[in-house]
Amino acid sequence: MAILIDGKKISTDIKDELKVEVAKYKEQGIKITMAVVKVGEDPASAVYVRNKQKACEYIGIDSVAYELPEETSEEELLELIDKLNKDDVINGILVQLPLPKHMNEDIILDAIDSKKDVDGFHPNNVGKMMVGKETFLPCTPAGIVELLKRTNIELEGKECVVIGRSNIVGKPMSMLMLKENCTVTICHSRTKDLKEVARRADILIVAIGKPKFVTADFVKDGATVIDVGIHRMENGKLCGDVDFEQVEPKAYAITPVPGGVGPMTVTMLMANCLRSVELQNR
Ligand code: NAP
């Protein structure tokens, strides 16, 4: 049986470590505050925002919520971001995506002060990550590196195949695995012989957004498999991009869905909030 990579436990461990750090800051009179901005009524976004606020509460970070109506204009949102950028009390700014269709997400994300960009999506921070400078790392990929390290999966010199090249998961994931000295291959919808390429992987990371797409024939015996996907099936249960029942018997270690990558994303956001204090005090 494969090792189950327990994202729930690992994320709780990290949150408890962060809680201690937050308490130390408080002893020095430093309070950490994150602004969470949501526009519109998307029910999934409402759940994500609530989870982020709960995590803040758990580790002792203050969160200030801005819930704006769907019809908010891009200019109004930019004005709010400008105000939060200039507000010394606010350490981190998170704008929940997706934004309503009449807004340009790139313009909005670029407007956030890169020193308060706790999602790690600002081009300045993406560039810093590329060249290996200390900065905010995108939460989902950073969480996956933590999962692998804390499960004692050896990374150096390993073949890592990442399926998916999105700006929020696939691309940054590949850069972080390169930094860990893996040999990295990035696959996407035009990759030829995807199964054959995937079978090279010692570590296979799947972020394609297609339920149970990766079956046993994509996986080398003894590979570690990380499933980023999350989908609600007709029976109401959650599944990932990997067919867990088929792949688990072949794998050395695997993340379940739910309880694998998912809990790490919010936890790494909290880690970035703490990092914001360090980055802003330089
Ligand atoms: P995305 O922006 O839709 O990107 C999907 C990527 O998969 C694209 O690069 C696409 O290639 C590639 N792809 C699609 N079909 C493929 C195929 N048949 N063969 C090979 N590659 C294929 O998705 P994303 O934002 O990265 O998210 C991926 C999944 O992770 C989703 O299920 C999402 O819900 C989940 N997710 C989970 C978390 C979490 O916290 N657990 C966080 C973020 C995302 P092209 O570039 O060629 O189109």
Residue 36: pLDDT above 80?
yes
Which residues does the annotation mark as catalytic? Answer: 52, 96, 119
- Pair 144, 251 in one domain: yes
Q: How far, in Å, is the centroid of ligand 1 from the Cα of 154?
A: 25
pTM score, whole prediction: 0.97
- Pair 95, 147 in one domain: no
90-130 pLDDT, tens digit per residue, is 999 999 999 999 999 999 999 999 999 999 999 999 999 99
Q: 99, 114, 129 — which closes off a domain? A: 114
Bridge partners of 62? 33
- Pair 145, 254 in one domain: yes
Asked whether the beta carbons of 255 and 226 are under 8 A apart, the reply is yes
| End-to-end alpha carbon distance in the chain | 47
- Examine residue 68 and state whether it is found in any structural domain, yes or no: yes
Q: Ligand 1 pocket: which of 189, 214, 218, 267 to mutate (most atoms <8 Å of CB)? A: 189
- Pair 110, 144 in one domain: no
Q: How far, in Å, is the centroid of ligand 1 from the Cα of 105?
A: 18
The pLDDT score that the predictor gives to residue 91 is 96
- Pair 167, 255 in one domain: yes
- Pair 235, 152 in one domain: yes
Phi, psi of 180, rounded to the nearest 5 degrees = -85, 10
Look up the CATH number of the domain holding residue 258: 3.40.50.720
The pLDDT score that the predictor gives to residue 249 is 98
Asked whether the beta carbons of 243 and 216 are under 8 A apart, the reply is yes
- Examine residue 235 and state whether it is found in any structural domain, yes or no: yes
pLDDT band at 186 (very low <50, low <70, confident <90, very high): very high
Q: Which structural domain, as residue segments, surrounds residue 146?
A: 139-262
The pLDDT score that the predictor gives to residue 280 is 84
Query: How far is 188 from 262, CA to CA, in rounded Å?
Result: 22
Asked whether the beta carbons of 45 and 34 are under 8 A apart, the reply is no
Asked whether the beta carbons of 185 and 228 are under 8 A apart, the reply is no
The pLDDT score that the predictor gives to residue 44 is 87
Q: Which atom of ligand 1 is nearest to the CA of 231?
A: 32
Residue 164: pLDDT above 90?
yes
Using CB distances shorter than 6 Å, the residues near ligand 1 are 140, 163-166, 168-170, 187-191, 194, 207-210, 228-230, 241, 261-262, 265
The pLDDT score that the predictor gives to residue 278 is 87
What's the number of domains the chain is made of? 2
The pLDDT score that the predictor gives to residue 242 is 98
Closest to 250 measured CA to CA, from 209, 211, 204: 204
Q: 114, 147, 169 — which closes off a domain? A: 114
Q: How far, in Å, is the centroid of ligand 1 from the Cα of 115?
A: 27
- Examine residue 243 and state whether it is found in any structural domain, yes or no: yes
- Examine residue 280 and state whether it is found in any structural domain, yes or no: no
- Pair 149, 187 in one domain: yes
Q: Which atom of ligand 1 is nearest to the CA of 188?
A: 21
Look up the CATH number of the domain holding residue 80: 3.40.50.10860
The pLDDT score that the predictor gives to residue 281 is 77
- Examine residue 4 and state whether it is found in any structural domain, yes or no: no
Q: 80, 99, 114 — which closes off a domain? A: 114
Phi, psi of 102, rounded to the nearest 5 degrees = -80, 5
Q: How far, in Å, is the centroid of ligand 1 from the Cα of 9?
A: 25
Q: How far, in Å, is the centroid of ligand 1 from the Cα of 230?
A: 10
Compute CA 224 distance to the chain's CA centroid, rounded to the nearest angstrom.
Answer: 19
227-278 pLDDT, tens digit per residue, is 999 999 999 999 999 999 999 999 999 999 999 999 999 999 999 999 999 8
- Examine residue 108 and state whether it is found in any structural domain, yes or no: yes
- Pair 167, 107 in one domain: no
- Pair 110, 143 in one domain: no
pLDDT band at 43 (very low <50, low <70, confident <90, very high): confident
- Examine residue 92 and state whether it is found in any structural domain, yes or no: yes
Phi, psi of 135, rounded to the nearest 5 degrees = -165, -175
- Examine residue 196 and state whether it is found in any structural domain, yes or no: yes
> Cα separations (Å) of 89 from 103, 130, 187, 268?
27, 30, 42, 21
Q: Which atom of ligand 1 is nearest to the CA of 208?
A: 7
- Pair 104, 154 in one domain: no
For residue 203, give the H/E element and its range.
strand 203-206
Q: Ligand 1 pocket: which of 208, 232, 261 to mutate (most atoms <8 Å of CB)? A: 208
53-63 pLDDT, tens digit per residue, is 999 999 999 99
- Higher pLDDT, residue 278 or 84: 84
